[in-house]
Every structure is written in C-alpha cells, then in structure tokens.
C-alpha cells in the first residue's frame, strides 16, 4: 500500500531519533517558513509582555502576580500559591492586610501581614509586618537601623490567590536545567509548528 506524504506512522522511536527528526524538520523548512515561525515566536513573546505591562497599569503594582516562596505565611498562604496584587496609593494601609514589600539589599520581595500601623497627622504612614507562621516581627529582615516600613517599600497588597499554581516557578528556580529544557522545548514547538 502506498503511504501518503511519504512517511509511515510507525511505533515509538528512540530518543535520539526524535532529536534527529527535529533537526531534519528545521533543515527541510524553506527560508520563508523559518522566518514565519520566528515571527510567530516573537509575537507570542511580545504579546505576553504587553499583557504583563497592561496588568501593571491596571493594578498599580510593579509585580501584579507573585509566587509565595516560603512557608512563613501558613496557614493563610502556602509555598507555591500564586498571589494577585494591587497597589493603589490612595488606599491606606491597615493592620491585618497582607502586603508584599521589598527591603533594601534583598532581591526577592517578602509576603507578610501588617501587624502595627503608625499614622502621623501629615499623612505619613509607617508600619510593621510579621509572617503568620513566624515567632517574631520582621525588624530582623529590614535593612540595618530600619524599624518600620513605609508605603514606598510596598510592591502590592494581596487581593486574591490560586493555591499551588506557582509550584512550576519554584521548581524552575530550584532546578535551572529543567527551566532551560522547558524553554527549549517550548521554543522548538513554536518554531516547528506547521499551520494546517
């Protein structure tokens, strides 16, 4: 029986065969197809960037979505929970709110609860935070000599969350090789995907 398209649909091949097929597909593409696939990939990346920038504008937060990286806020939030943040400067910070803040000298923002607020007559607000699962407040985490946070330190305030959705991010941070392999597979898929 003749095979359509000149290829058989045989059983599973070896892992090396799959890699050879990938490079074979790349060689068989003409320049026009390759340019089209590269442009397609660039559009996906730029669309994701535009959505992210749009979320920044709508929420007022420089990081509208963050992943909880530690268990310091259990049982309210667990490691891997995805938090949605807003940061509207008109809203006053109140005790009991969960805020994400940056401390000078630390790259990764911290998610903790506001436990005390000092509001002065001129409108300046200073506040103290603590993790629900921690024994002591966060003064030990702040920069040396800093006893209170100010509004400028706040990245956002938690408005909602999805449980454990951020575990993929944690796995990619803990195992960088997995991250690069996943990115390579996604890039190859987009580049080699044919329009039907």
Is-catalytic flag, 70?
Answer: no
Contact 65, 83 (CB under 8 A): yes
Q: Which helix or strand (DSSP H or E) is residue 63 part of? A: none
Contact 60, 88 (CB under 8 A): yes
Catalytic residue among 72, 78, 89, 107: 72
Catalytic residue among 47, 81, 107, 112: 112
**Residues 98-108 as b or e (16 or more Cβ within 10 Å = b):** bbbbbbeeeee
Angstrom distance (rounded) from CA 109 to CA 3: 58
Ordered DSSP codes for 119-154: E-TTS-EEEEEE-TT-SS-GGGTSPTT--SEEGGGE
Question: Helix crossing, 176-192 with 15-28: angle to 10°?
Answer: 40
Is-catalytic flag, 72?
Answer: yes
Is-catalytic flag, 138?
Answer: yes
Q: Which of 7, 42, 3, 34 is nearest to 21 (CA)?
A: 7
Catalytic residue among 21, 25, 132, 138: 138
2 burial level (CB within 10 Å; 0-12, 13-18, 19+): exposed
Q: Active-site residue numbers?
A: 72, 112, 138
């Amino acid at each position: 029986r003749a095979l359509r398209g000149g290829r058989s649909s045989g059983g599973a091949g070896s892992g090396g065969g799959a890699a050879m097929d990938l490079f074979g597909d790349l060689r068989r593409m003409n320049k026009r197809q390759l340019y089209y696939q590269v442009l397609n990939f660039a559009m996906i990346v730029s669309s994701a960037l535009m959505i992210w920038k749009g979320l920044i504008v709508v929420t007022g937060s420089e990081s509208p979505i963050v992943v909880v990286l530690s268990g310091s806020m259990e049982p309210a939030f667990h490691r891997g929970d995805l938090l949605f943040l807003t940061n509207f400067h008109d809203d006053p910070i109140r005790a009991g709110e969960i805020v994400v803040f940056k401390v000078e000298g630390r790259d990764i923002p911290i998610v903790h609860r506001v436990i005390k607020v000092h509001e002065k007559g001129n409108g300046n607000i200073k506040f103290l935070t603590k993790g629900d699962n921690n024994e002591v407040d966060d003064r030990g985490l702040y920069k040396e000599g800093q006893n209170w946070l100010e509004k400028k330190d706040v990245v956002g305030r938690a408005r909602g969350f999805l449980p454990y959705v951020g575990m993929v991010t944690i796995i990619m941070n803990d195992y960088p090789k997995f991250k690069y392999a996943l990115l390579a597979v996604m890039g190859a898929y987009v580049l080699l995907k044919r329009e039907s």
